[in-house]
Chains A and B, each alone.
Chain A
Amino acid sequence: MCRIGSIKCREAVPPSLALRLMLPQQEGHDNSGFALVMQDLEGAFSHYKETPLLSLATTPEGLRLVADHMAALGFVQLAQWVPEVDNRAGLNMAAMPRYVFSNYDWPEVYRYRGQKDREELLLDTRLALRRLLEEHDAGYVYSFWPDVLTLKEIGDPADIAAYFRLWDDDGRLVARNIVAQCRQNTNYGIVRYAAHPFFLQGHTLCANGENTLFTRNREFQQSLHRGYTGFESDSQCLLYTLHYVHRELGWPLTYYKHVLTPLPAAEAAAREDGEVLGLIRESLAQLEINGPNAIIGLLPDGKMLACCDAKKLRPLVIGSGEGDDGDMVAMASEVCALNAILPARDKEKDIYPGERELVVVDNGLELQRWLQ
């Protein structure tokens, strides 16, 4: 089982805070990996919030391939941050030769295009880079989106942090939203793409659990959208469903939960909106999950969400702190994680989302609890 966590903070915080959130949960993961997505960046990236940021783990050859491809597309590199890694012997991790985080200016033809076109370009570019790197076995591309940075690696989370000098807190890598996971997906072999959180067009998601309807989800999603690809982990389906409901269909966020875990037919039929719920269920039956899953998601506008499957077998807790706790909301698989970074919070106010509940945290750190 993996462990998941997230932090949403008024002030930008370093990834070491996410590590402090994740490491106490170590009994629940196997030290086989660590991954995080940071959104609403400050520090080294504060001047480039509007330009897409590419997160890569690659080989020197891959770096050249990517540079050529980006140049051919008309992307102009504005900035690049290469972590100064601590390459000492004995660290338990499988490092790639190069980690590159580059900001690009939009190609000339996209300078006056609309938001939608730009978002499609970013997706197509990432997918093309992924194919390119796969063809040459030259690395991985995790995200390509403004103000979003993704780091994933195989190994012991503490050692991975040491390698990237994440413990140093030098102020260059900080963000207001961080979603993190410890342990790689082991169901289908350890590959970097299988590590949560997953990212697609501004939507980030990580999950703790097993998607028992993975096959059914995947078969349907494969033809829904070109971005629904990979499927190295069964939890990727949960991201794609979020993306589909929220972005493609444009439905209010609460319907994500209705799609994942529809109400029992009799219960839905008795409601005023029963007909709508019935239609949604009929139409999107292939996206249902039968759990068990605990889900943390992050939307393009910075809203963070949490929910569970209808079996509610995987734990998830949400705590918020003020003042000494730095005005933040944190989510985690286990409450010990919250105790580590929000020791002074009022524990009575912790939220353990129910099987019918969706919790949304907005950018003012206000929590909305919505019952299905």
Chain B
Amino acid sequence: MAPVKRKAPKEEVPAQAVSVNDLPWLVRHDAGRCVLCGACTAACTFGAIEAKLPPRGASAAEREMRKEAGEGGRPVIVQKAEAAHACTGCGMCEKVCPAGAIRPVRNLDNRWAVLSRTHGEPARRGGRGGRSVVEAPPRERTLDAVVIGRISQMTDPALDSERHTFELRSPLGRLLRPGELPLRVEDGRLVLAGETPPVRWIYPVIFSDMSIGALSTRAWEALALAVAWLNEECHLPVRMSSGEGGVPTRLLESERLKYFILQIASGHFGWNRIIESLPRMKADPAAVLIKVGQGAKPGDGGLLPAAKVAPHIQAIRGVPGATLHSPPNHQGLYSIEEAVQKMHLSMNAAFGFRVPVAVKCAASATSVAVYNNLLRDPYHICGGFFLDGMLGGTGAAYSVSLEHTGHPVVSVVRDCYRAAAGQGLQGRIPLWAGGGIGMNGDAAADAFKLVCLGADGVVLGRLLLQLLGCVGNEHGRCNACNTGHCPAGICTQDPRLVRRLDVDAGAQAIVDYMRAFDAELRKLLAPVGNSALPVGRADALVATRKDVADRLGIAYAC
């Protein structure tokens, strides 16, 4: 709802009216270069601009002369002075303009923090952490204050990243302690004498759980295509989480289900179809991920706005077209141990105890306590602990949640690892870290550092969308994932917008990035002389900030 407009008497200054200068982005239009093609207004999914005939200053006589000469006015593109149609800075107008006549510019004098809340609804946006108000500086990242400082030379030589064989694999599943292994000595050899929990050794990157409703079907398909290609052509066993919201039946019944982690959250959206498909499944999924919380809006459930609930999404989810809320908690769960065990047992049983079941929580000051509980669980149920830091998030969230709640992922990963190490339980439940990984484009460096601090692997989300063409950033650009108007066709179900996304090109971009990621990861492993992932090898890192060094328990360097 737009703010109420008051028609001001001519003598009165309309001080309370919204002007274009109150909005976070200004559209600069050069009428002299404009060719009047109309592409910009057609491309703008937010209705932020329109063509108008501007009033002109001219005498009555002059106006009369023009009229007689048959001269009309020349229309110009103007920005609407309405909060509901505020420009998001996505720059689609600029992309489609053949004459370079239009572009958005950041408006430092905006009143957006106030305007976005004037209609009685909390401000919402998509994207991840960082501030939506444009003047705020980007958040300082802990990982940028950490560098890989232990370079092997002379006595422990570095490896050749081009030629050496590296083993870049991480576990997903419950790993037993050596004394718990069902092994028996027979004729001088160890033989297996019992069952062990299922464990998958996969690439240390998982594509984050972005549901088929949060994304467009094309975007989801591009991710799925990239995953299949990475596995089958590039030999990188990357896995993708489905997100809450279900999986197309054809995929459920395909061999390629093995590349996917099925997510179940408190709304259980899409699980009817999954359960119904069980008898026809040709392959087991890579894992089941129980989402308890997420980093973008910790303490909130999932939210799929009605504007994005297209008919095929309704069909997959089995819920009629309405705003879909996944509650912030799993109803009936009242303790970590009992609740998670109940869920795990049912999930395990559904897949014949062949599929590891992991838990995803928002990073929190209590994460260590939860992890400790899971570690001490005597039934070896939990097969992974996914920590989602406050910089994570792709879908719709309240701005106040994105900006003011949550916990950075780095220290909580470190704390969990150290808590486990203190009990000799490190590595028993793989730690996966998400939330802002690759914010600066260097996902491999972020992943390597988190691995050294104790993570077994990382989860990428927003970075993938950026590879698909998302223009949103941490400084308030676009971030309209919640509106259904995604100008890149990534986070929308509008068929006209979805068509903007080229599935193959998107998948190609992701595959190319992951190939570069793989090469970069080797480039980081080689100088520290490790051919396998150095999980917990914090001595390979130094911090350039004393506070970071102290907090993470690594050496300080200056």
Contact = CB atoms under 8 A, between A and B. Distances in A.
Interface residues of A, number: 39
A56 to B, nearest CB: 31
A213 B422 contact: no
B155 A213 contact: no
B530 A213 contact: yes
B157 A282 contact: no
Interface stretch (B104-112, B174-182, B273-281, B442-450): B174-182
B190 A291 contact: no
B537 interface: yes
Contact of B177 (A212, A215, A283, A288): A283
A44 B169 CA distance: 55
Contact of A264 (B167, B422, B528, B537): B167
A223 B188 CA distance: 28
Given A255-B190, A313-B157, A279 B424 contact: no
Contact of B181 (A279, A288, A291): A279
B127 to A, nearest CB: 36
B537 A213 contact: yes
Interface string A203-232: 000000110111110011011100000000
A253 to B, nearest CB: 9
A151 to B, nearest CB: 26
Interface string A262-298: 0011000000010110011011111010111000000
Contacts of B341: none
Dominant secondary structure at the B interface: loop
A215 B536 contact: yes
Interface in B130-189: 152, 155-157, 165, 167, 169, 171, 175-181, 183, 185, 188-189
A265 B156 contact: no
B288 interface: no
A252 interface: yes
Interface centre among B171, B177, B178 (most CB of A within 10 A): B178
A272 to B, nearest CB: 10
Interface in A311-344: 311, 313
A2 B189 CA distance: 34
A222 to B, nearest CB: 7
A219 B426 contact: yes
B199 A282 contact: yes
B532 interface: yes
Question: Chain B interface: which size bin?
Answer: 35 or more
B534 interface: yes
A72 interface: no
Contacts of B156: 209-210, 212, 291-292
A224 B190 CA distance: 21
Given A273-B189, A283-B176, A290 B183 contact: no
B267 interface: no
Contacts of B175: 282-283, 285
Contacts of B176: 279, 282-283
Interface in B182-223: 183, 185, 188-192, 196, 199, 201
B434 interface: no
Interface centre among A209, A222, A252 (most CB of B within 10 A): A252
B393 interface: no
Contacts of B169: 265
A114 interface: no
B185 A285 contact: no
Contacts of A276: 183, 190-192
Closest 6 pairs (CB-CB, A-B): A223-B424, A210-B156, A215-B539, A219-B421, A282-B175, A283-B178
Given A213-B534, A252-B185, A291-B529, 20 more contacts: A212-B152, A216-B535, A219-B426, A220-B421, A220-B424, A220-B426, A223-B421, A249-B178, A249-B179, A273-B189, A273-B190, A276-B190, A279-B176, A279-B192, A279-B196, A282-B199, A283-B180, A290-B531, A311-B157, A313-B157
21 contacts: A209-B155, A209-B156, A212-B156, A212-B528, A213-B537, A219-B426, A220-B424, A222-B424, A223-B424, A249-B178, A251-B190, A252-B188, A252-B189, A276-B191, A283-B176, A285-B175, A285-B535, A290-B529, A290-B531, A292-B155, A310-B531
